[in-house]
Amino acid sequence: GGGGYDPKPDKVFGVSFRTRPESSTGVPHVLEHSVLCGSRKYPSRDPFAHLLKGSLQTFLNAMTYPDRTVYPVASRNRADFRNLMDVYLDAVFHPRAVEEEGWWVLRQEGWRYDVVGGDDDGDEADGGVSLPGERRDFEYKGVVYSEMKGAYSDPEGLMDRVAQGLLFPDSPYRYDSGGDPAVIPTLTREEFVGFHRRYYHPTNARLFVAGDESDVYDALSRASAYMTPFGYNPQSRKESVIPYQQRTFKKPVYERRPYSAPGGDGGGGGGGHMLQVTWLLNTQPLDGVTELAWIVLD
């Protein structure tokens, strides 16, 4: 057919960064949201929403893992695919969020103080006119803050996070890269900007692309135009390395935590108990066959 449509399977592009958490402020997660709030070439306040509605994308998202942040896109239309690549490359390497003009992004996507009952659109809430001496109540707001409050109210998710912290007491994996709601409000702009500068560097990035030959060449050429001006910075790659957790405990470690649960059936208790048993499997890289075996067992 015409219009540049290619009936072959989806063309896929992604850029990922190894983002080593240094606390549970959730800065990797907040950055994942924030870089998609406008960039140097695409200054729209929410280009992500425009792409979701106005492009021919078959996949468009971003994900924060415990040790990396990934930005994948896919489309079956060649022109659309190349536009998506360009928007994402500009977003990760030149986001407005880390510039002075993007001061509002951290407050919208991360956390801020808001007047109770005030605006909820991400801007600074004025909550109307206050009278002299009138007492105002404030609360925390923010996209990631609210999202993680919901995540921490899920008992199974909370149990997984506690177990991960116990298994990796000396590793960055003991932190929650998504953000702990009790810690997210300690995230400063300096930490936010510094994290992007440190880890969102081409030396610390990995690209993946799938498509026909012209798609691959175009992706490499486009990526090179964005990445070459940054130069080579081995320090960025070195700082993001996560060492393997060694077996520092000689006997099982136990932890008991309360969690919020819905009321019972009128029997007076409700909620019940949950139990999880976990093992630290390896203290060095697994070979491919062993890793596959564990995946199958899981």
Question: What amino acid positions are annotated as catalytic residues?
Answer: 32, 109
Q: Looking up tokens 């509002």, which residue turns up?
A: 104
What is the CA 273 to chain-centroid distance, rounded? 31
Whole-angstrom Cα distance, residue 80 to residue 165? 42
285 phi and psi angles, rounded to 5 deg? -55, 140
- Whether 26 and 179 have beta carbons less than 8 Å apart is answered as yes
CA angle 35, 38, 41 (to 5 degrees): 110
Whole-angstrom Cα distance, residue 104 to residue 121? 12
Buried b / exposed e over 174-186, threshold 16 CB at 10 Å, is bbbbbbbbeebee
294 phi and psi angles, rounded to 5 deg? -65, -35
Count of CB atoms within 10 A of residue 165's CB? 16
